[in-house]
Amino acid sequence: MPRYTTCQICGRAIRTVKADCAQTGKVERIIIDHPYVDPRTGVQEEERCLGSGWRPLEVASDALERYVAKLEEAAMELRREFTAMHDRPPEEFTFRAQWPLRGEIAVARPKRFDPKRKPDGVLKPNTYAHQFWDEDRRYRFGLARADADLAVLNKRLADRRAPA
Ligand SMILES: [Zn+2]
């Protein structure tokens, strides 16, 4: 086996060493500790990639399958929260106020608040609507990111399973 092989999680070529493999309990070539670099942005996001210490993708897909399952669960939870916020907008939001206010503030839901209708233009800070649509944007961003990550990871799994 070559000394550089593919990490199951980040998909990069990473050096391997012979060591005790926690998954098989045998001495095998496993991926050395390395940081996680986002393949889309090239930005280092974690000190230690979750593929560290696992067997390379050429040998196993156990870390990848576990990671995909966790990510799918997290995405489902995010989607559930997002849907719940739209179905039943919270009675109030508590958040760190923006200038010119300071500290934590709580804003109650206005009587005529409509979660189906995002107002045009810039929303006034420190209001319920501002906070609601800010949360909405955060959820959409998180969901889009989870979907993009899952697409890459599921393709990696599918490619590995495909007959050569
Ligand atoms: Zn990695």
| pLDDT for position 71 | 96
Domain that holds residue 113: 68-164
Together in a domain, 81 and 106: yes
Pairing relationship of beta strands 92-96 and 104-108 according to DSSP bridges: antiparallel
DSSP label at residue 124: P
pLDDT-based confidence at 3, cuts 50/70/90? confident
Both 95 and 161 in one domain: the answer is yes
What is the pLDDT at residue 162?
A: 78
CA angle 88, 119, 76 (to 5 degrees): 40
Are residues 47 and 76 both part of a single domain?
no
Q: What is the pLDDT of residues 5-64, one digit of tens each?
A: 999 999 999 999 999 999 999 999 999 999 999 877 889 999 999 999 999 999 999 999
The alpha carbon of 42 and the centre of ligand 1 are apart by a number of angstroms equal to 13
Q: What is the DSSP letter of 58?
A: T
Please list, in sequence order, all residues whose beta carbon lies within 8 angstroms of the beta carbon of residue 136, skipping any fewer than 6 positions away: 82, 85, 86, 118
Statement to judge: residues 96 and 53 lie in one domain: no
Ligand 1 centroid vs 148 CA: distance in angstroms? 17
Specify whether 56 is located in the same domain as 72.
no
* Residues 26 and 84 placed together within one structural domain of the fold: no
For residue 69, how far is its CA from the centre of ligand 1 (angstroms)? 17
Which residues have CB atoms below 5 A from the ion given as ligand 1? 7, 9-10, 49, 51
Tell which of 35, 60, 85 closes a domain: 60
In total, how many domains does the chain have? 2
pLDDT in tens, 97-145: 999 999 999 999 999 999 999 999 999 999 999 999 999 999 999 999 9
DSSP 30: E
* 55, 23 Cβ separation under 8 angstroms: yes
Q: Which of 10, 37, 60 is the last residue of a domain?
A: 60
Same domain, 131 and 73: yes
Report the pLDDT value the prediction gives residue 118, as an integer from 0 to 100: 93
Q: 77 CA distance to ligand 1 centroid (A)?
A: 25
Task: Give the model's pLDDT for residue 164.
Answer: 63
Q: How confident is the model at residue 1 (pLDDT cuts 50, 70, 90)?
A: low
Together in a domain, 54 and 81: no
Residues 53 and 74 grouped into a single domain: no
> Do 52 and 110 belong to one domain?
no
The pLDDT value given to residue 61: 96
Residue 86 contacts by C-beta under 8 Å, 6 or more apart in sequence?
115, 116, 136
Residues 72 and 97 in one domain: yes
Claim to verify: residue 49 and residue 98 sit in the same structural domain:
no
